[in-house]
Chains A and B, each alone.
Chain A
């Protein structure tokens, strides 16, 4: 079938190739930097005041080499890396020794994905609907008021915005908890009290992300709609006396959605990099915090694990987008 041969196969090849190059880069880059992770780790332990005798150090170096997969020639290391990846083994974290990286990531992932998936989708839907209407009715008062509000919110640095929300709704009016992903001491379980606690705790971070994300989608959508509105097929439908409801939905929004679908795909891929600032401000457990800690402590295996995860996530999102896009735009056929 032409679809498989001419459309699917090339994209799958591209997909595999990008991941391959990404992982290779993740392998090479740390080896090009002048810092030696082992020397770095030992120096860190020494700086904390521990005395290490030479024999211990030698043993330690050996252990670390094994830990980081630094044994043998470059080629051996590279092959070993792939072998481990195929087993889903990203090695063990050093600073939470001996927890495997996959366990740490697995623990943080539901928090991040739960929060970011919801907020990304929610802000996309809201921002596009409101932005679409504001773009179509851009001469109306309410549309200009919304536009002005967006212009005020948008340049605010996220952390200031997030802190303000936290202060207002967490400290001043104590409506929402100020930290954590759920009540401390509650065991994760599939029960209403636990879910309620999770929703309660995630409300502020979700609100901050939805407002700021929504504003971004709003502004882009409004601009796109204003451009589409000037297109000749929209003007023509108006001259033809086509009902306004049809023009808005089938002519303007439908066409304006196309670039936004692409952008949503990419935004969903980004989820797996976590939301560092949100997680820090709201002390929310997630991939961002995990990655931050990994960088601070020089936990190489953990950094590599998270980086590879985001590479796979983003390329997968792009692949999914490529495969789904022709459903939205008839001009792009499966060729």
Chain B
């Protein structure tokens, strides 16, 4: 098994909002433990609003107000050493960015500067990290990179608005791979794209991961995409990871009732029956339910579910689940 490249311990990141004197705290990431390995695609899935984007921001060390680190730590494995990213000085963190870890944000359609050409954006990222290159050499690097990933070279001369949504997404993914980082974080890269375009984006991500042999943390609520790309999957619910296993285990043997619903809401080929989506509505992250946060929507609720948050059980090797149903054997 590959070594751990990114580790989160009891990570808590809340949005602390001060609205006209009343404090509201959104507990978006509430005690997450993760061990992500080298050379794997780690998928994070869950309904929208469960804290996936916030978790990624925290893993990336991007804590801008109102988001605040409440507790826990995140370590990167850099040159054989564990680096606690929240203890780094801003410029040390800045150095890791793009060269060691890069980020494809949610809504990548609008992350490109609208008034400059794509090649200028590439140049800005390259110039900020690579020293002693002339303008022409920089453009040459960008061109080679784009070509190697199978994108048309003409995109470099285009402005963002001249490209389709799918092409912009691919340009952003390619940009994240520019400096061959060890870890890439991709937030909903296929959302809002039609199926054919989605396939191209997935292909690009997979291709990059295979050629760089690096780690991709892929967030998407689309279980179909997860099944396609991920090696391991973490299921997120109300700011916590509630189940984690290999993709085969998750789809073949889902243990958490929430996971079961997520998988069964997928349309299946030849199946015309109604899909069973998760009953009820997503929990509030300001006042999360007591005990297991899924209990108000769970068909198997027991008294203990209302009182205590279950810790992880590992009923099958490397298959962890936080559910009282598993706890009793």
Listed in ascending order, the chain A residues whose CB lies under 8 Å from chain B are 231-233, 235-237, 239-243, 246, 250-251, 254-255, 258, 328-331
Contact bitstring B110-153, A, C-beta under 8 A = 1, else 0: 11111111001000110111000000000000000000000000
Which one of B107, B124, B159 lies within 8 Å of A250 (CB-CB)?
B124
Cβ B128 vs Cβ A243 within 8 A:
yes
Cβ B103 vs Cβ A240 within 8 A:
yes
Which one of A235, A239, A241, A330 lies within 8 Å of B115 (CB-CB)?
A330
A-B contact pairs, 20 of them (CB 8 A): A235-B105, A236-B105, A236-B112, A237-B113, A237-B125, A239-B60, A239-B62, A240-B125, A241-B95, A241-B97, A241-B125, A242-B128, A250-B120, A254-B116, A255-B113, A255-B114, A328-B115, A331-B114, A331-B115, A331-B161
Are A239 and B112 also in contact (CB < 8 A) when A246-B128, A250-B120, A331-B161 are?
A: no
Cβ B124 vs Cβ A242 within 8 A:
yes
The main secondary structure of chain A at its interface with chain B is: helix
Residues from chain B with Cβ under 8 Å of A258 in the complex? 115
Cβ A255 vs Cβ B105 within 8 A:
no
Residues from chain B with Cβ under 8 Å of A236 in the complex? 105, 111-112
Tell me, rounded to whole Å, the shortest Cβ–Cβ distance linking B41 to chain A: 21
Cβ A232 vs Cβ B127 within 8 A:
no
Contact bitstring B145-187, A, C-beta under 8 A = 1, else 0: 0000000000000010100000000000001000000000000
Q: Is B259 close to A, CB under 8 A? A: no
Cβ A330 vs Cβ B113 within 8 A:
no
Most buried by B among A236, A240, A329: A240
Cβ B114 vs Cβ A233 within 8 A:
yes
Complex CA–CA separation, A240 to B28 (angstroms): 23
In the complex, given contacts A239-B60, A242-B124, A329-B115, what are 7 additional A-B residue pairs having Cβ atoms less than 8 angstroms apart? A231-B110, A239-B105, A240-B102, A240-B103, A240-B175, A241-B94, A330-B117
Cβ B159 vs Cβ A330 within 8 A:
yes
Complex CA–CA separation, A235 to B103 (angstroms): 12
Q: Is B42 close to A, CB under 8 A? A: no
Tell me, rounded to whole Å, the shortest Cβ–Cβ distance linking A88 to chain B: 42
Listed in ascending order, the chain B residues whose CB lies under 8 Å from chain A are 60, 62, 94-95, 97-98, 102-103, 105, 107, 110-117, 120, 124-125, 127-129, 159, 161, 175
For A233, the closest partner residue in chain B by CB is B113
Cβ A233 vs Cβ B103 within 8 A:
no
Residues from chain B with Cβ under 8 Å of A239 in the complex? 60, 62, 97, 103, 105
Residues from chain B with Cβ under 8 Å of A246 in the complex? 124, 127-128
Cβ B114 vs Cβ A232 within 8 A:
no
For B126, the closest partner residue in chain A by CB is A242
Residues from chain B with Cβ under 8 Å of A232 in the complex? 105, 107, 110-111
Complex CA–CA separation, A237 to B113 (angstroms): 9
Residues from chain A with Cβ under 8 Å of B115 in the complex? 254-255, 258, 328-331
Complex CA–CA separation, A241 to B102 (angstroms): 10
Tell me, rounded to whole Å, the shortest Cβ–Cβ distance linking B58 to chain A: 13
Complex CA–CA separation, A240 to B112 (angstroms): 12
Residues from chain A with Cβ under 8 Å of B94 in the complex? 241
Cβ B124 vs Cβ A241 within 8 A:
no
Are A240 and B97 also in contact (CB < 8 A) when A232-B105, A246-B124, A246-B128 are?
A: yes
Residues from chain A with Cβ under 8 Å of B107 in the complex? 232
Tell me, rounded to whole Å, the shortest Cβ–Cβ distance linking B230 to chain A: 23
Residues from chain B with Cβ under 8 Å of A242 in the complex? 124-125, 128
Cβ A233 vs Cβ B111 within 8 A:
yes
Complex CA–CA separation, A233 to B159 (angstroms): 13
Residues from chain B with Cβ under 8 Å of A250 in the complex? 113, 116, 120, 124
Residues from chain B with Cβ under 8 Å of A240 in the complex? 97-98, 102-103, 125, 128, 175
Complex CA–CA separation, A46 to B97 (angstroms): 85
Tell me, rounded to whole Å, the shortest Cβ–Cβ distance linking A70 to chain B: 54
Tell me, rounded to whole Å, the shortest Cβ–Cβ distance linking A152 to chain B: 26
Tell me, rounded to whole Å, the shortest Cβ–Cβ distance linking B178 to chain A: 9
Complex CA–CA separation, A236 to B108 (angstroms): 9
Complex CA–CA separation, A231 to B107 (angstroms): 12
Q: List 7 A-B pairs, minimum CB-CB distance, nearest first.
A: A236-B111, A241-B97, A243-B128, A330-B159, A242-B128, A241-B94, A233-B113
Tell me, rounded to whole Å, the shortest Cβ–Cβ distance linking B116 to chain A: 6
Tell me, rounded to whole Å, the shortest Cβ–Cβ distance linking B92 to chain A: 11
Residues from chain B with Cβ under 8 Å of A231 in the complex? 110
Residues from chain B with Cβ under 8 Å of A331 in the complex? 114-115, 159, 161
Residues from chain A with Cβ under 8 Å of B127 in the complex? 243, 246
Residues from chain A with Cβ under 8 Å of B125 in the complex? 237, 240-242
For A241, the closest partner residue in chain B by CB is B97
Most buried by A among B112, B128, B175: B128
Cβ B110 vs Cβ A241 within 8 A:
no
Complex CA–CA separation, A242 to B116 (angstroms): 15
Most buried by B among A235, A251, A330: A330
Complex CA–CA separation, A237 to B159 (angstroms): 16
Complex CA–CA separation, A231 to B105 (angstroms): 13
Cβ B124 vs Cβ A237 within 8 A:
yes
For B161, the closest partner residue in chain A by CB is A331
Tell me, rounded to whole Å, the shortest Cβ–Cβ distance linking B146 to chain A: 17
Tell me, rounded to whole Å, the shortest Cβ–Cβ distance linking B189 to chain A: 14
Complex CA–CA separation, A196 to B95 (angstroms): 55
Residues from chain A with Cβ under 8 Å of B175 in the complex? 240
Complex CA–CA separation, A240 to B102 (angstroms): 7
For A252, the closest partner residue in chain B by CB is B113
Cβ A251 vs Cβ B114 within 8 A:
no
Complex CA–CA separation, A237 to B107 (angstroms): 14
Cβ B98 vs Cβ A241 within 8 A:
yes
Complex CA–CA separation, A242 to B105 (angstroms): 15
Complex CA–CA separation, A100 to B314 (angstroms): 98
Most buried by B among A232, A242, A258: A242
Most buried by A among B94, B112, B117: B94
Most buried by B among A236, A243, A254: A236
Residues from chain B with Cβ under 8 Å of A254 in the complex? 113, 115-116
